[in-house]
Chains A and B, each alone.
Chain A
Amino acid sequence: MTGYERTHSVGPHRVGRVIVYTLLILFALYYLMPLFVMIATSLKSLDEIRAGNLLALPREITFEAWAKAWASACTGVDCSGLKGNFMNSVSFVVPAVVVSTLIGAFNGYVLTQWRFRGSDAMFTLLLVGCFIPFQVVLLPMAQTLGWLGIANSTLGLVFVHVVYGLAFTTLFFRNFYVSIPAELTKAARIDGAGFFTIFWRIILPLSPPIIVVCVIWQFTQIWNDFLFGVVFSSGERQPITVALNNLVNTSTGVKEYNVDMAAAIIAGLPTLFVYIVAGKYFLRGLTAGAVKG
């Protein structure tokens, strides 16, 4: 950081600062507004919502709406809240993230450290996978799942998301591993390490920064996915995104805004959690010692 020259705040410079900060704060408030409305509404009683202002703080804080959204709100005919669907989501998101990340790491390792004839062409083909819209693969995927006998199952959803995510995870890891000097693999080969030993003992230990990026990306994508969830699962196996939609659209008389808001926040919490926890582990420069300093 020695190259930076410290500029002292003088006249016009300071004015610029003030403008920048004012704008930033305004935009931050603007973007935080919906979240504020959601949290405030979820903590209000239905009477208060009907009577009061959308932006007002709750007069009396109540967690009833949260309890209902979690355990007893109706999603269609079933009235047991989101808790089952939340666990559904966890049960296919976690394996899908882990498997797609591992395979992505493995692909990246092969594409960079064990280049073969046509490895670049292979990578390009994989890249194309990133540009295929969800809708295009729906029908062929349904067919494939049927053939494999895993249609309408958790395993099926894991499979769909792993296949769809591979293009992205491979891209992440390939681009990360490209900067690892090939000499590292060569040295390990001369030391007697084989293909898998090098992957487990040398390459994977260097990967935490990109694993974090990949996990955040995959978790967000798969957790927030609605289309695959609604198409390839049904009934009590539905993921939370589908259940949230059903919950909001199921109206039995009164529209319960507080329950809708609480449910929406519950559905969004895990991704928020992943960002906050994993974001800390964005370690950089782990390979600094491998190449010249």
Chain B
Amino acid sequence: MGALSIRNVTKRYGATEVLRGIDIEVEDGEFLILVGPSGCGKSTLLNMIAGLDSITSGEIAIAGRVVNELSPKDRDIAMVFQSYALYPNMSVRQNISFGLKIRKVPHDKQQEIVARVAKTLQIEHLLERMPSQLSGGQRQRVAMGRALARDPTLFLFDEPLSNLDAKLRVEMRTEIKLLHERLGATIIYVTHDQIEAMTLGDRIAVMKDGVVRQLATPQEVYDNPADLFVAGFIGSPSMNFIRCAVAQGDGRLGVQLHEGSEGSEGFFFPAPEPMQQALNAWTGREVILGIRPEQITDKTAYSGQNPNVVTRLAKIEVVQPTGPDTLVLIHLNDTPVTCRVHPEAGARPGQPATLLFDLSKLVFFDPQTEKRIA
């Protein structure tokens, strides 16, 4: 029995279908991320799990109990909001104990819980302050404290880090992950930030237009995206998509490419062995080839004898150093392609450079349906 079951849940507002049949099973102690661009329905789904919004059809069960008709307070959940939603007229202590007070927990017990939670989150020194006297990060901690005090079956996080500055966001990310490991709590976490999704989640549900496009572990989503949207959404800089034709060369199937604009000398990338079968039906037709920037690099660090790695000379157009890596832009099939090279490679704009293409992780998409082919 899982902590949360979402079965064929739909939601419509009038004629607009916001969620179209969502199915998600969450194990006890799992950290599930709902990620997607704004308007994909992820926050609506979270609100529906919380009971703040009604379900049009389908079923939601928390710890095996169907909660469709239960009000938020009876669902054994706690929620952390993007705007923190601290009660401005109450001190930190009162904020944390408000839910306990409403539930008529004895006063000594309340104080005990507040003390424990404050210790866990290291906000003991803030207990008597008002929310307006706290910084963003501190407010976020208090908001989490309020959730922890309740010790619920399910924690819901609604973009909790979006209002923090970049540095604090990374710090709090680590803390949330630590907290999850320490408490073993079940967490449903909504974000639009793919890095947060990758770093925090046990599994990620990538959503778009009210549909879960892919539900898998972060690495699986990254390496084996189910469709063009997932491939482009997860990963930064984003995966390169190149339109090209499937062709035959050296007895294998692969793609026909040319550098720069039309008319220049073409070349052939053979697809790795496991993909041959699936590409068979596409011979001579156009597909979308996906290749991540880090799969096109320079030879500085390369020493292995991978048969799937091929070398090409390409003209570099733009160089963007990021510190650990340098992003360089080349053109393949009239499409700008980002490559991630080592800073020591000394890439210069306008100069040709030898680049290594790792073809083992190539992905192919149907240009019409945008579904994965291989």
Contacts and interface: CB of A to CB of B under 8 A. Distances in A.
Contacts of B139: 289, 293
Interface in A140-165: none
A278 interface: no
A188 to B, nearest CB: 7
Contact of A186 (B79, B87, B102, B134): B79
Contacts of A288: 88, 132
Nearest to B164: A292
A201 to B, nearest CB: 8
Interface residues of A, number: 24
B52 A186 contact: yes
Contacts, number: 84
Interface in B10-48: 47
A291 B83 contact: yes
B135 interface: yes
Contact of B136 (A193, A206, A293): A293
Interface in B85-110: 85-89, 98-99, 102-103
B85 A181 contact: yes
Nearest to A290: B88
B2 to A, nearest CB: 21
Given A289-B133, A293-B135, A189 B98 contact: no
Interface string A12-35: 000000000000000000000000
Contacts of B83: 181, 183, 290-292
A249 interface: no
B93 to A, nearest CB: 14
Contact of A190 (B78, B82, B86): B78
B254 interface: no
A205 B135 contact: no
Interface in A194-219: 197, 201-202, 205-206
A187 B71 contact: no
A205 B89 contact: yes
Given A186-B52, A192-B73, A292-B136, A286 B85 contact: no
A163 to B, nearest CB: 31
A288 B131 CA distance: 8
A191 B89 contact: no
A290 B98 contact: no
Contacts of A205: 89
A120 to B, nearest CB: 15
A290 B73 contact: no
9 contacts: A186-B52, A191-B150, A192-B103, A206-B88, A287-B88, A290-B84, A290-B86, A290-B88, A293-B135
Interface of A: 181, 183-184, 186-193, 197, 201-202, 205-206, 286-293
